[in-house]
Chain A
Amino acid sequence: MLSHLPILQVILPLVAAPSCMMIRRANLVWFFAMLVSTAALVVSVLLLQQVLDTGPISYRLGGWEAPWGIEYRIDLLNAWVLLVITGLGTAVLTAARVSVQREMDDLRQTVFYSLYLLCFAGLLGIVATGDVFNVFVFLEISSLATYALIALGRDRRSLWAAFQYLIMGTIGATFILIGIGFLYMMTGTLNMADLAQRLPEINSSNTVLAAFAFIVVGVCLKLALFPLHMWLPNAYAFAPSIVTAFLAATATKVALYLLVRFIVTVFGVDFSLTSLPLQSLFIGLGLMGVFVASVVAIYQVDIKRMLAYSSVAQVGYMVVGIGISSVVALQATLLHLFNHALMKGGLFLALAGLVYRLGSSRIDAFNGLGRTMPWTMGAIVVGGISLIGMPLTVGFVSKWYLITAAIESDMWFVALLVVLGSLIAAIYIWRLVEAGYFREAPVARAATVGEAPLSLLVPTWILIGANIYFGIDTRLPVEVTGAAAQYLLGGIQ
């Protein structure tokens, strides 16, 4: 049983997804989905434990030997990302019941849980597999589920957002497919470890360069790296609240994992970051993303949209970490992957509570919120502080590592810009605080609006609490990501 953990991680939600359609009763389906995703969480905890104890796990699908059959390979990086995804996915699902009930009719609720699990399975599959074509298949499973999830939104603009994302996402995925084709053409293998061994010999070939370009652009489309982020704000703003929380906490994280996996493991740092001028490109695009998206975020009226732009900015920080490409910088990226999932998961869940009570996430809905919904507003403030990166929150930890890495590599300018970017975040978070605590609620509303329901509030505060907990007791994330970064970059730096 224990030796089958890597495949169980993926197959559990994958099989459970169609089963949801047979249950049909909305509350039962929710309970079933909860069971499945908790099981997935347990599996990922066991996997991480096993990897920490005994080193990387290799699982052969159907018993076929590695380069020929599909291999699932779990090392520290995978195991860590799997834990983040299952943890956040489960936390968001806990909150889903009431919010989904409010925003969808009965039939759609069943479809929602089915799609949720399908997307969950796809994301876990991308992370767990050690086979590049398998990556493409799972990428499409999760993407197709995501398009449908976004289209479940109440506003008709969600349809348009889903369609635009479908076009962009399919182009991105097809680019990755082309890249994989080139790689197979040159090496005759699809296994990541095998590719990593064979690629250095043929590095100078134009075909490998083209493969690299297609794959990086394709993944960056999924990652919403500036300037390929155009699909993200609309998709996040018009999707159902729970879907936004789920996507913000998991989908971009998986794309980031994929970028790290391809750049560091498959192509190797020597090729992708040293011999190509990608270092400055990543740092430049990342920082531009931070600034442009943060400034745009300041002017947003819809807060879901504002946080969506802020997600684009945060992706920028993570990519800067890859660009600096020292062990500490990669560690900062992996830390921020976890931390950003915590922040945005918590923030979007708090917004889900707001939408549940007020039916709107526009800035004027925030007026006087500090008095009418103190706990929800409190969660938003703490999450916002973490987003800015104040000490005692997780946001501080990852920015600290990023700045340290920049200074160690003599990139003072980058360190300075990272700090400046955080200041812009302070501006847009301040707008919320100002509306919530310093403006009066409209008279008609003040009497009727209460606190968000407990089943939404508790998961929100678990995530927000985690923001503070891991900001003070940093041992677990720092140790695991440190070891993962060390393992990925080997003895190079």
Chain B
Amino acid sequence: MRRAFVASGWMMSLLAATASGAAPVCAPGTAEMPSMFLPRSEPAEIILDITWLIIGICAVIFIVMEGLIVWAIIRYRKKRSESEGGEPPQVYGSNPVELAWTVIPLLIVFVLFLVSARGIFEIDKQEPPPGSLEVTVVGHRWWWEFDYGDLGFVTANELHIPLTKDGEPQSVYLMLESADVIHSFWVPQLAGKMDVVPGRINHLWLQPSRAGKYIGQCAEYCGNQHANMLITVYVHTEEEFARWVENQQKEAVEDAAVAEGRDLFMSTACINCHTIRGTVADGTFAPDLTHLMSRSVLGAGAAANTPDRLREWVWDPQNIKPGCDMPSMKLSREETDRICDYLETLK
């Protein structure tokens, strides 16, 4: 049953994707469109099953009712030939009929209620399932911080999670916190959204079912650059994930060739906000840059992480993401190049 639902959902999204000229589904390295009809994680799959059921019920009601309306219009439209006089028979009401359309909707709604209530308790896990990978997600205006806790590192904007652990599906439990205003963590292919509320710790459960790159973004209006608070989630195979973790746990690369750029970085205000592990830079207001080059985007998805865009970004972030908290540091072009040379070594 579920498989059939999933398959038809996939078809519908494919339709959508084709029609909109999006990137081909599942091409290597590119993300699918963030459609709830392409679930790649247990909670998203449960939601999609419920969704098909309610779409089905509502579609039937819609077709029947619209059919009745259209039929009534056609059937009872006053003919031109009819004379003005003569009113139709007046019907004031009918108790049995009215009772029927009070009770039947009640029954439909009751069924819907039961199905959805079951879904709520199935998805909304109050405690992390045993063996979960726990990651603390902190929403900032306008970027995401991912704290891997026990694994001992912090990264930003791109969440990496494993598909399996020892061959078994890996459950992932996100703890959502906010550093400022309300945000909402939404990656439609993996789960429904969960608000990220200051003063609260919310939870979100994922259990990915297919490796790949999934995109999402902040879904609660949080100010100027709400639109550029994007999320990328990489679901890796077990081995890939282990390699990624190993790299992230290392301190920043020390490359003598870019010492000049590094010194410049360490002597400007950059270090007040950014951390580069293994150096004096230990600010926490902005994304951790220790392994900047392992990420594919800048400014929480505002731009791709390419050498050119990186230079533009460091020169003046306000051109790319107007209103973001990082100011233009008023560096010369020369200084910008030196700093970017250094940043590009942070693999």
A, B in one complex: no
- B residues at A contact (CB < 8 Å): none
- A residues at B contact (CB < 8 Å): none
